[in-house]
Amino acid sequence: MIVNGATTSGELRAHNRVRLLRAVHDTGAARTRSRLTRDLGLARGTASVLVAGLAEDELLHEGPAPGHARGRPTQVPGPHPRGPIALAVDVREDVWELAACELGGRVTILAVRPHDGTPEGTLGPLGAAIAGHAARFGHRVIGVGVALAGPVRHGGLVDISHLGWRSVDVPALLGLGSGTSPEGRPAAYPEGRRDADTAPGDPDIRPGDADTGPGDPDIRPGDADTGPGDAGGRPGGLLGAPVVGNDTVLAALAEARRGKLRDVRVGLHLHVDFDLGGVLVVDGRPVAGAGGAGAEFGHMPLTGNRRRCPCGAVGCWGMDVGANALLRHAGLAHGSGRGREQAEHVLATSEEAVTVTARALGRGIAALVNAHDPEVVTLSGHGADLLERAGAALRAACEPGLMAIRRDAPPRIEGTALGWRGALLGAMESVFDAFLTTEGLELWRKNHPDQGRDTPERQSVTHSTRKGESAT
Ligand SMILES: [Zn+2]
C-alpha cells in the first residue's frame, strides 16, 4: 500500500487513525468494523489495534450492530460517549440554531433563538450560548462552525445586505477571536484535509428528524463541574477561533458529504431562504472563490429584472427567488429578513406567486447549466419547496434557456436530502475537517492526559436510534 508521506510505522499508524475515524464519520457511524477494515484495505489485526487505541483515547466506542442475531457478534465503531463534539450554528436572517454534533454526524439541537437582525443582537446572545455549552462539554469541544446568510471574507468578516451588515467581525462579536487577525483562522486545529477514498453513508439527521428541541438529553455533558458562563467566552479544552462560512457553501458541502452530491464530480447547489445563494461543487468541494465569498450566483442578472438589490448591483437573480420575492408577489412587506411565516403561507396558498418564483428559478438554472455543465443541480431551503410545489413550471422555464447541445441530456434537478439542516451540517463538517488530521488528533491526545478509561457505561448516553445502512 502506498501512503502519502507516511514513512515510519508511527506515521503510518497516525495516518491510519485519521483514515479510520474519517471513514466512521463519513459513513454515519453505521458500518461494522469488518466492513471498514475491508473498505480501508487494512489487515484485521491492524484494525483491532487501531480501534483499541482510538477507544483508549476516547475517540471511538464500539457497540454491537443493530439487529444482529446469529453467529459471531458484529461490532460497529461509533462516537465515544466522552468523544469529540463540534458545536455548529446556522445563523439565518431571523433566527439562529445551535447544535452539538458527534463523530458520525449525529446532531443534537441545543438552542433555537429568534434575533433582532442587528450584529450585536444576533451574535452577542449566540456567543454567550456557545460559551455556556462549551463550558459544559469542556475538553470534548473540538471547535465551533458558524454558517451565515451572506458572503464571508478573511475567515470571518460577513456582509448580509438585507440586514445592513457590512464587514461584521463575527468571531469578535462571538467573543472567539477576530476575523481580521490571524486568530480569525481556525486556531485549535489546522486547515482540514480529506481522504477521498472513503465512501460516505447515510446521515443520521433526515428531514422530519428536526424535532429534537432544546434540552434534548441525547447528548449530555461529561463530568464537567463548571457551570454555564464560567468560561468567560474562552472555555478550556480545544476551542479556538470559529470556522465561519457562507450558508450556501456549507449546505453544498453537506450535500456533497451526506446528500445528493455524493460521488458527483461536478454539481451545482442552490440554497434559497430569503434570497438565493448558489455555488459550483467540484469533486466534493464547493468552489467558494479566492477569498471565500464566491457562492453568490444569486447576484447575477439572470432573469432580466431591473430592481436594485441591497448588495449594490442591479437586476440580481436573488431578487426574483426566495421568501422576499414571495412576499413581494403577495404585496407584503419584504426585504428586511422578516416575514418567514407569511412567506411560508404564500408558498402554501398562492399558486401564482409560487409559479412565478419557480419560473425565475428555472430560468437562472438554465444559464448556470450552460456555463458549468453540472451532472446534477440540487436545491435546498425554499428551492426544494418550489421544486416540489411547481416542478413542472420550473423545468418548463429552464428548458428554453438551455443550449441545444444540453437539451438531449439535461442535468437532473433534485431537492436536497438534508431538509433545512444542510448549512448546520456543513458547519459541523468544517469543524471535523480541521480535527480529523494527524495534527488534530495529536492535539486531542495532549488535551486528554487522563484518558485510557473506556468505560462509557457510566455516562448513560443512549445510542438507540442510529439509522443507516444495514450492517453487513
Ligand atoms: Zn445583489
Please count the other Cβ atoms lying within 10 Å of the Cβ belonging to residue 230: 14
Ligand 1 mean position to 240 CA, how many Å? 33
Q: What is the pTM of this model?
A: 0.84
- Return left, alpha or beta for 312; rule: phi > 0 is left, psi -120 to 50 is alpha, else beta: left
Q: Are 340 and 350 in contact (CB under 8 A)?
A: no
Ligand 1 mean position to 299 CA, how many Å? 4
Q: For domain 260-416, give its CATH number from 2.40.340.10, 1.10.620.20, 3.30.420.40, 3.40.50.720.
A: 3.30.420.40
Ligand 1 mean position to 298 CA, how many Å? 7
Ligand 1 mean position to 247 CA, how many Å? 16
Ligand 1 mean position to 231 CA, how many Å? 40
> For 92-239, where are the E strands, in sequence order?
95-102, 107-114, 141-148, 152-153, 157-160, 165-169
Ligand 1 mean position to 165 CA, how many Å? 14
Q: What is the DSSP letter of 421?
A: G
Residue 13 CB-half CA count within 13 A = 13
Ligand 1 mean position to 69 CA, how many Å? 58
Ligand 1 mean position to 95 CA, how many Å? 22
Ligand 1 mean position to 273 CA, how many Å? 14
Ligand 1 mean position to 398 CA, how many Å? 21
Ligand 1 mean position to 313 CA, how many Å? 5
List, for residues 117-172, the tens digit of each pLDDT value: 999 999 999 999 999 999 999 999 999 999 999 999 987 999 999 899 999 999 99
List, for residues 253-299, the tens digit of each pLDDT value: 999 999 999 999 999 999 999 999 999 999 999 999 888 888 899 99
Listed in order, the ranges of the chain carrying CATH 3.30.420.40 are: 85-248+421-459, 260-416
Q: Which helix (H) or strand (E) holds 285?
A: strand 285-286
Q: Which among 102, 437, 428, 117 has a CA at the least distance from the CA of 251?
A: 428
Q: What are phi and psi of 20, to 5 degrees?
A: -70, -45
The domain defined by 9-79 folds into Arc Repressor Mutant, subunit A (1.10.10)
Ligand 1 mean position to 379 CA, how many Å? 19
List, for residues 342-373, the tens digit of each pLDDT value: 999 999 999 999 999 999 999 999 999 999 99
Ligand 1 mean position to 251 CA, how many Å? 20
- Per the prediction, the chain carries an average pLDDT of 84
Listed in order, the ranges of the chain carrying CATH 1.10.10.10 are: 9-79
Q: Per-residue pLDDT for 227 more than 80?
A: no
Determine the pLDDT at residue 69: 63
Cα dihedral: 384, 390, 392, 398 (round 10): -60
Structural class in CATH, domain 85-248+421-459? alpha beta
Ligand 1 mean position to 367 CA, how many Å? 17
Ligand 1 mean position to 320 CA, how many Å? 11
